[in-house]
Amino acid sequence: MKRYVRPDPMNVVRCQLKPDSIDLIDGVPDSHPTDGQPCYRFDVPDSVPHDNGAWLWIEWPRGTGIAPVAEHGLLNMIKVGGGGFEPDIYRGQKLGGLRPFRLDGHFCRYSDDGSEMLINESTGFRLFGRWRAGQVQADDFARTCCENRLNMVRVSGMQDTSLYLTDPNLQYRIFPEGPQYYQDLADFYDWCGSYGLMLDFVCCMQTQTLMPDPASQVRHVQQVFEVFQSRYAFVSKVNEQGVHDNSVSDDVLRLAKPAGATFLLSTGSKESGDETALEPVGDLVEIHLNDSNEWWRKGHNAWEMANRYNRGGYVSETTRTDKDGALHHFEDDAKTQTAMTLAAMIHTPEGKNADPFDFSLVHLAAHNAGVFDGGVNFRRGQYDRHDCPDLRCYSMTVGGLGTYPWSVRF
């Protein structure tokens, strides 16, 4: 059966339909059977059942300022001569940016109504590189982030995996080669926003190999600051400064956030388990817990760092899902991160490569069970630790609201 949609304007670079039960279908320019107006036609096999779930993607050229359409709906396979989704006409909406937020104490609030901001974060290191290359995996990864209630991704801005990975499927390069990179970064921010994804952008990785000149490092980070000057995101100068190849110059570490900038700045992260912040501290402090002993018990260490430095604190990288098969570790860790820190991070092999979630879906479900357990409402409260056999038991208490108890299992 022929299904129709009408993008407005029609100058799209992508118009695709993906019924849940079959492969992707490319839209074909056509005339709508009801009024003869230009539209796109999808030739959907009759084997697709009525009300089958389907994703619709419409994307306009970069630089037009129009937000892509990424919508899941039910595919009408009965209505003759009409569309598949209702309404049939998709008018491009100008990008309005993500909802503004600000740091309030050690946590974030939305600026428009002052409500507490719950950040559910995934690594997505390769996403900017995939997006710049026009790879479909970028859309697929972003879509599965939406489907799994993630709203922030940690993205690498500089990396060349071909230097240490032999699998050609895992090799990619992302590098600030010129002005187009920074224009692309602005467009990428808008694209992520169309999926409801905020950015946690890491300026420098493999720095000593890819950009050893200190002056070039400073220029790069300054230009990233310019991109995010009036945008809402986390910006981290460097990933794991203690790893020599990643490290940046002292001049980069000393770069101050520009006056009036809306992004939140972290000087960067250190090696896993290091609870001291890079100096001088910015708005945020980070800790990495990837492959740390009993990593799922240590989310509260970011809370301790936040208190020590009087900044927002969060775990910006943790143990990957392919390295720990205990689902309750991810649930318990998410409860701790949500109730005590700025953001709840999950690190997966899919996130590392910006591939659509598959293997880690069960871990994501466990993670989300912890994230959405209610602890976000208590994270500004009074912390207490209780002695429990075979467990670590915590609670946060807010006057007038009550106490949120949770435990962390072995």
Q: Which of 6-20, 59-73, 168-182, 317-331 is predicted least confidently?
A: 59-73
This prediction's pTM: 0.80
pLDDT tens column, 256-275: 999 999 999 999 999 999 99
pLDDT at 83: 59
Confidence bin at 63 (pLDDT 50/70/90)? low
The mean per-residue pLDDT over the stretch 202-230 comes to 97
* Superfamily the domain 101-378 falls into: Glycosidases (3.20.20.80)
**b vs e for 214-228, b when ≥16 Cβ sit within 10 Å of the residue's Cβ?**
eeebbebbeebbebb
Most confident of 57-61, 82-86, 370-374: 370-374
Q: Give the separation between CA 136 and CA 386, rounded to whole angstroms.
A: 48
pLDDT tens column, 379-402: 999 999 988 887 899 999 999 999
The mean per-residue pLDDT over the stretch 296-324 comes to 97
- Nearest CA-CA partner of 347 in 339, 213, 333: 333
